[in-house]
Structure 1
Amino acid sequence: MHHLFDLTGKVALVTGGGRGLGRGMALALAGAGADLVLVSRTASELEAVAAEARKLGRRALPVPLDLTVPGNIDRMVQAALEEFGKIDILVNNAGTNVRKPALEITAEEWERVVALNLRAAFFVAQAVGRTMIERRQGKIINTASLTSEIGIANVSVYGCTKGGIRQMTRALALEWAPYHINVNAIGPGYFKTSMTRAVFEDPERRRWIESRIPWGRTGTPDDLAGAVIFLAAPASDYI
């Protein structure tokens, strides 16, 4: 059964791979045998994750760039192909948030969150998907959210984008299944990352959150390791 979860020889591109959930998913894939292309805006964070992956015996290529800048998505894909010749797995994870009441959201804040969370995510999937269609194989794992399913106050723009990710995942799964490309999403709930730090700094809010989770605790990036390996590996070929 080991072969069902073995990623040896595979190449995984992880956006938002320098910290938080992206870092955790990238290192999980490396632990299962995949080489990595790591993408985010902060070079120092990417280099640190790449060093951890190399300690696991994997190759790792840091690609520091802003996915919302025109042309950068094509440059990212080209860098990956020049280094590895293929992309087997895409973890479409880069994202940001603005945490404030809807009446206080500015047009600039709306555009900034939508540009990265939804527009960039779509065009990253499109660019990587083209290379997968040529090879007639691939795995795409989008990062959705609890807010893809339910409304949460003070994160309205984020929720809009994550609802979009859910529907994008469904549409691409239907369009690209004939090319043997699996498109799925992981929808994390409350996880402790730099993006959610402010939520957990309020003791009352933290207790309220934990009281609603059957396990009695919030998630950590390591908790996604099994899910991302499963969705990237042969075990999920019919999902």
Structure 2
Amino acid sequence: MTPSIRAWSATHPGAVRTQNQDACLCRPEIGLFAVADGVGGHNGGEIAAARVMEMLSLIPDGLAPAARLAAVRAGLQDTHRALLDMARQPGSHIAPATTIVALLLDGDHFACLWAGDSRAYLLRDGVLHRLTTDHSVVQSLVSAGALTEAEAEQDPRQNVITRAVGAGPEALSIAKSIGEVQPDDRFLLCSDGLYKTLEVEEIARTAMGDAADVAQQLITRALAQTARDNVTVVVAAPQAAYR
């Protein structure tokens, strides 16, 4: 049984764009949370993000943790193939694709699944630990030692991702990270509109605060910094944090 989890979520088009191609999901009753960021270079990014969230909303209650994780993974693969088929239809003028980061919480364990550059963080003892590695051109160059992190932030290719639901080969490669939950942990999922606008220290300080809605407060801070992209945030805190 998944224990009670406190959660907040919010999404906004940002300070510049009029359309919001992001989407998010909070299902604390089964310990499932997600953020998707429709790929802006593909017509129909908002369609792809919505399709992924619709699939996740239909994951049944009562599944064992391993079965829930398998259902999310299988659902992402099915949605990926469906989006590829949509783009191949005769006369289609859309190629819907989206990033995805999903968090599954169960007792004292967590698992993250992701494709693209939407991120998951663990906030522990006031420090924000990144749980995901971006599937992007600049991250590949950073990992290879060809760019520093500072150079990557200024590189014109920083928005070019290398993996997404609805784009690429027939089989979607989904990354995974797992770990143990400790008392007072909080988890943060977000689209790149947040972490490309706010410094890590400000994200951590705001996410660990006592605001009635920390997700909305993070978006408010991003808007104050003129967030140029859509901004979506989900924060989840296991019950242990409130004992």
Both proteins in one fold, TM over 0.5: no
TM-score range, shorter chain: 0.3 to 0.5
Q: Which has the higher contact order (CA 8 A, sep 6+)?
A: 2
Q: Which structure has the highest helix share of the two?
A: 1
